[in-house]
Amino acid sequence: MQYAMIIDLERCVGCHACTIACKAEWEIPVEFGRNWVYRLGPKQLDGTMASTYYPGLCNHCTEPACVPECPADPVERTFTSAKTGETVKMEVAATWKDPFDGTVQIDKSRCLGCGACAEACPYNARYVNPDLVDDVSSDGKADKCTFCQPRLLAGLEPACVQTCITGARIFGDMTDPKSEVSAYIKKGAKGIEATGGSLGPNVYYFGKAKDIKLLFNDSTPEVADLEKARKRAMFAKLVKPAVQKAGQIGLLGAAGTLLFQDRNKV
> pLDDT (tens digit, 9 = 90+) per residue, 192-249?
999 999 999 999 999 999 999 999 999 999 999 888 888 888 888 787 655 455 444 4
**Complete domains list, the chain, with CATH:** 1-60+145-224 (3.30.70.20), 65-120+131-143+227-266 (no CATH)
Q: What is the residue-averaged pLDDT of the chain?
A: 90
What pLDDT sits at residue 218? 96
User: pTM score > 0.85 for this model?
Assistant: yes
pLDDT band at 255 (very low <50, low <70, confident <90, very high): very low
pLDDT band at 138 (very low <50, low <70, confident <90, very high): confident
d(CA 143, CA 122): 15
The burial of 154, by beta-carbon neighbours within 10 Å (0-12 exposed, 13-18 middle, 19 or more buried), is given as exposed
pLDDT band at 182 (very low <50, low <70, confident <90, very high): very high
What pLDDT sits at residue 236? 83
pLDDT in tens, 31-55: 999 999 999 999 999 888 999 999 9
pLDDT in tens, 10-19: 999 999 999 9
